[in-house]
Chains A and B, each alone.
Chain A
Amino acid sequence: MVEWKPLPNVSASMRDILLAAIVEAQRLGSSTVEAEHILLAVAADSHSSVGAFLAEEGLDHAAVLAALRHEREQALQSVGVAPRDPSTLVATRIGRPKWGQSARLALRHAQHAALGQPMSRHHGRQRIRHRLAGENLLYGILSLELGTVPRALALAGHDRQALLARLVERAGMLPPRSRGRPNRE
């Protein structure tokens, strides 16, 4: 059972994905939950519409994991450090990883996207937000311009902005330009 330390303004449906992101971070031995762990959690749910979208784009869970590993290897090699065998880095961990800055920023972008969603005549805004929790989180992750996720996507040959545009179109979200940008702190 993963302990949940709530982030502000997180819906129940987003919370389920973020709990899975904590597990992804723990599995990779990370002391923080970052945007890449949320991306892994979104990609892992291949039955969801957003998981299917990522798979169609060649970004299922295994592909995302491979892209993230490649990014770290490239970063280390750029300063002449050979990657280590992960089995030599195994250590006992206690407690749960803390929220990292990239996850917080992705979440802020995601919440901004959720606020821009139009009301449904039949179901209201809450239902739309619930249905699009994964899409909103992916929108938030793909909105990050620097750091591990955009590097991993670029190194794996993915056009982040084109992915973002296809996501917006597929999910029927408002185009990014009409929403402006959330503040960075």
Chain B
Amino acid sequence: MNPAPPPPPVGGVADELAAVVALRELADRLEDAAVERALREGWSWGQVADALGVTRQAVHKKHLRRVEAAGIRLRRRNG
């Protein structure tokens, strides 16, 4: 017996699954860009974390190395 043909890659639920991929990619890129911009504008890590609804440790762990590489002057110990 032949295996079932694959579903079409476009249309129906394939479009919804592709939207998940696109939204995830957009959210990831938007987070990186927005966190970097907030820190450049003088936001503290704590403020960025509060705005994102995550812990300061989480946002620090995810973005610190990248932000340091960007040469952003960070606010110290105030958030």
Contact = CB atoms under 8 A, between A and B. Distances in A.
Interface of A: 29-31, 71-72, 74-76, 78-79, 81, 84, 88-94, 145-148, 150-151, 154-155
SS of B interface (majority) = helix
**Interface range on chain B (Cβ under 8 Å from partner):** 20 to 34
A72 B29 CA distance: 14
Contacts of B32: 89, 91-93
Nearest to B3: A181
SS of A interface (majority) = loop
Nearest to A160: B9
Contact of A92 (B16, B28, B36): B36
Contacts of B15: 74-75, 78
B66 A91 contact: yes
18 contacts: A31-B28, A72-B22, A75-B15, A75-B19, A75-B21, A78-B15, A79-B23, A81-B19, A81-B23, A92-B32, A92-B36, A93-B66, A94-B65, A145-B6, A146-B9, A150-B9, A151-B9, A151-B18
A84 B70 CA distance: 23
Contact of B14 (A30, A84, A89, A151): A151
Contact of A78 (B18, B28, B35): B18
Interface of B: 6-10, 14-16, 18-19, 21-23, 25-26, 28-30, 32-33, 35-36, 65-67, 69-70
Nearest to B70: A92
Contacts of A146: 6-7, 9, 14
Contacts of A93: 32, 66
Q: Among B18, B21, B29, B69, find the residue whose CB has the most chain A CB atoms closer than 10 A.
A: B18
